[in-house]
Structure formats: C-alpha cells, structure tokens
Structure 1
Amino acid sequence: MARLILDTNYFVYNDKYYHQKRGGAMGSAFTQVFANIYMLEWEQELIQHQASRNEIYGRYIDDIFMTTNMKIDEITTLIDKVQHKDPNIKIIPTTAEMVHFLDVAIMNDNGHLRTFIYHKPSADPYYLPYTSDHPHRVHRNIPYIALLRAARFCSNLNDFHLERIRIELALLLNQYPPQLLSNQFHRFFQMNKADLLIKTFDEQAYNQLHQRLLYSQKKQKSTILPSNTDPIINPPVLEQKPWDRSLMLVKYPFQTGPNSTFARQFYTWWEKHYQYQGSPANRINIRLILKCNKTLQNYLITKRPNQALLKGTDTSSN
C-alpha cells in the first residue's frame, strides 16, 4: 500500500499531467505520517543525547526545540554530526537565550523559564471581522479563546496583560463592539475562577490560573477497545456506527439580519406545533446544522482541474 501511494502521485499544471517521482504529495495524510516515522528514526541520537543529560527535546513536523547547558562549540559539533546522516535533511540552528518554537517564545530569564506568545514581525493584528457573515456565537467566542491561549502561553502576569491589551486592540480594529469584549473578558475570568485578576495585579492568583489551564485536559469520550482486539486489524475509526433513527439532522444556510435567529424560532415553532402530549414526533430529535456561506477563497481558489481534463476529453475542437 505504501509503495502504491508513493509511486503513483500525479498532478496537473497548465492543463498537463505530471508524474511526481521524488518525494510525496503535499497535504497527503500518508505522506505526513510516513515522514514522521522516518524522522523518529533519524532523531533517535538527539533524543537519547538529551535524555541522558535530563534536557528537553521536542519536534513538531520540521521545527525542533532543545535545551542545553553545553558550550556553543559542543552543541554545534553535535548538530553537524547529525547533519551528515541524511543530506536531504538540513538543520538551521538558532542558539540564543530566547528562541521561538511555533508560536511560543521561550526565554531563559536569569535561570528561570519564561514563555509568552510569539508574534511574527510581519503579522497583521487580524481576527475574523465582526462584520463577517458568521453566527454571533463565533464572534462571541473569539475573545474568550484568545485569552485562553494567552493564559496558557504566558508564564507571568505582566506578559499576559500585555497580550490581553494586544488582543483587545486587534479586536477593536476588526470592529468588535467594546461592550462585547468587556463581557467576554469578564466571562473568561469568571468561568476560570480568576475574578481577582480583573481588578488586581496578583501574581500568585495568575500562576494558579496559568498552571490550571496549562495542564487541563479536554474532556473527550475515548473508545476503549477490548484487550483481545487488535487496533491494527480492527481500527476503531473504521467501525460502523449504528444508525440512530430518532435523530434527524437538518442543514440550513446562515444569513445575517432577521434570519440569524432562525434556529431559536424553529425550535419554538417545533415545540408549539409538534411536541404536544401523545405526538408521534416526540420520539424525533431534530438537530439543526449550520451551513456557512462560501467565502472568497471558495470562489477564487481552484484545487481540482476541470472535469474535462480529469476525464481525458479534448474540448479544444469545440
């Protein structure tokens, strides 16, 4: 199966078919997994080196983060040695008291670990505009999620407050109402039991909030396979789910204006006319699924060639 996927990669460019003979297809789920398997083997020397010295090693796709107390020339020698294992893998090292890994800035602040959100110099303060054609709950949750991310990334209160101000200014520039921002900021502190931070600069209270959010785990239902079930032969993702005859999923397009309250009005109408005592509709559970409108990306970006080229038909004579 792996050979079939790697050797049969084709793509279309300027109305011509091309066969990719080297590398894997970008965006392919298999290519990413296969590359991670190879990189796990490639990085074993670095992993063992860091583990023997009680240091940190982490990698996400093509970004690597390491901590060390070695001298610059010693760590450079180690990286140069690893570089020669595969000429196709190039490491561009950055050694400093402050580095960034993905969107986190990591700093050695006089022997103390300090982290905060890293912003690229070229990045614009952009969030989903408040005037965009999206449900109100989407805009309402953006300030909350932005503060949640800041509280997890920022290890001290001062960095968190600077990030909070940055978030507020960016959302105001994207036309978010000040009252909405105030309500959502208060909701964040109240839901996370940190009301004290709204009015006071309490480092201890923030450290408790930071640690609690940093190590909190999402409550997800996990499927536990029986001990005699082989997850390779019978992967849980391929298990057929039973059809719930009582559940009816109804999609509807979202529109701003009066139609934005359609879901609430529909449920009120449904309960009034169909949820009476003895109604056969009582056994039906209707769930409305929101379908957002297409964006400019949907109209301007074409990822698939036209049908005529896929079918191999020549339309030039027509």
Structure 2
Amino acid sequence: MFFFERAIAKQIKNGGGPYFRYIDDLFIVINWPVRHLLKQIERLNNFDENIKLKANIGSFTNFLHLYTENRDGTLFTAVYQKPSYEPYYLPSNSIPPLHMKKNIPFIMLLRTIRYCSTFQTYLSERENLRMASLLNKYPNKIIEQQFNNVLLKFNIDQPLTINNYNKYRQNVLDSPYKEPTGIDYDKVLFIHFTYCSSMEMFPLKFHTLWSKSFGESPINEITPVLRIRNVKNLQRRLTH
C-alpha cells in the first residue's frame, strides 16, 4: 500500500488537489480532463488486484459515511448510508454495561450535527436515529437524555432550530479535538472480569473495597481500571 499510495500522493500534490486517507480508503479531488482521469484510474487499478480506485465525475460524491455535494457553489453535506446499511446497534437489553450502550445515541447524534449542513437534513437524520434506537429497545428517556447531553457538552442551552442551527453547528465544528492521553502503565492496574447482569454493581463495590483496603497504603497511588470480557456463549463459539 505504501508504494501504491506514494505514487498517487505525488501526482495529487503536484496537481494541487486534496488527498485524504482513512485506514485503507482514499479520497482524492483533482481537476483533470475526463479522459486523462479515466486513463490514470485504469493504470492505477492494474497495480494490485486487491486495490481498486473508482472515478466519480460530477457535483456530488460520498466518502465513508459522509455525503458531499456542490450545490451552485454551496457545499452541502449529510450522513451517507451505504446500500448494505441496517439499523442494528448494540441492543439495549444486551449484556454490556449501560454506559457503553448509552454512548451510542450520543455519538451518533454528534456525528449527525457534524455531517448535516442544513437543519432539515439534521432533523431527518435525528429522527432516523431515534427510530433505530427504539428498534434496538432503547428507552425514549435514555435517547432524549443522550441527545440533550450532546448539546450540553458544547454549551448549547436551547433546542436546535432552523434559526440557530448554523451558529451552534459551527461551534461544534470549531471545538478543539482532544488528543488521547497516554497511559502510564506503572501507575495503572487493569482488571478484567466477565460481565453479566448479576455483575452490574461489581465496579462500584470493587472501587469501594479498594479505597477501604488501600486508602492509607502506598499502593493507592496505583489507579485500578476495570475492563470487561464478553461471556463465552454459544454465539461467540459459532462466530470465532
């Protein structure tokens, strides 16, 4: 992939176009004559049978989950769903802890705000997300709570409307990205346990017992972090 990508990146850079890569997906915008573009795509597709580029000539395209369109000089974006998309997320009644499941509607709505450039598309995608969450047995109370938490995270103290959407969306887009902090493995102790419904209160009880037992001990300088393992059920045995 390195040798393949290096040749393309050099061409695009010389042509003054943007070049993006996410894992093994490339997104390139270039202003070449149609015949030259198709010839270059054909040449590059012969480099390796496992790597294929697709030419998209027109005013719209999609990359990963983002739909992009040039509407008379105005950039329009929205969430793109692949043809194989199915509205199946981690079910609310599944084994993993609640905080993991609550994060799904939160992240999905945040993506919706970032991707949807108009209030109408945001509204439509938000309701699609709500319906998908309900189909996966998420209570409407949790859905609304997580939707509100997205707004609170960016200090938005009122509902999004057609009048304020562009302003608040820009605030979300301009918010600084926090780099993941490194882990000091000398001061962090990872503890894995198999999660099931009867273990729901285990993390709270563990931290209470840890503080009680090691509160005055030097070992208390070490931070315990609990992680879960999946239950070895029949489904996992059949799929792994």
In 1, Cα distance between equivalents of 2:217 and 2:21 = 57
How far is 1:197 from its partner?
3.1
Q: Is the 8 A contact 2:118 2:166 kept in 1?
A: no
Q: Is the 8 A contact 1:254 1:291 kept in 2?
A: yes
Match of 1:41 in 2: 7
Matched, 1:219 2:157: no
TM, length-normalised to structure 2: 0.82
Q: Is the 8 A contact 1:263 1:288 kept in 2?
A: yes
In 1, Cα distance between equivalents of 2:62 and 2:14 = 23
Match of 1:149 in 2: 111
Q: How many residues align?
A: 236
How far is 1:253 from its partner?
1.4
Q: Is the 8 A contact 2:119 2:162 kept in 1?
A: no
In 2, Cα distance between equivalents of 1:243 and 1:301 = 32
Matched, 1:291 2:229: yes
Unaligned 5+ runs, structure 2: none
In 1, Cα distance between equivalents of 2:70 and 2:184 = 53
Matched, 1:87 2:70: no
Q: Which amino acid aligns with 1:217?
A: Y
Matched, 1:182 2:144: yes
How far is 1:105 from its partner?
0.5
In 1, Cα distance between equivalents of 2:117 and 2:43 = 37
Change (3 A) 1:248 1:57: closer
- Superposition CA RMSD, Å: 2.9
Question: Aligned to 2:35, which of 76, 79, 86?
Answer: 76
User: SS state of the match for residue 67, structure 2?
Assistant: strand
Question: Aligned to 2:65, which of 103, 112, 129?
Answer: 103
Match of 1:25 in 2: none
TM, length-normalised to structure 1: 0.64
Q: Is the 8 A contact 2:41 2:54 kept in 1?
A: no
Match of 2:195 in 1: 254
Match of 2:29 in 1: 66
Among all aligned residue pairs of Structure 1 and Structure 2, give the percentage whose two residues are the same amino acid: 26
Deviation per CA, 1:134-163: give whole Å up to 9, x if none: 011101111111111112222222222221
Larger relative contact order (CA 8 Å, sep ≥ 6): 2
Unaligned 5+ runs, structure 1: 1-34, 223-240, 303-318
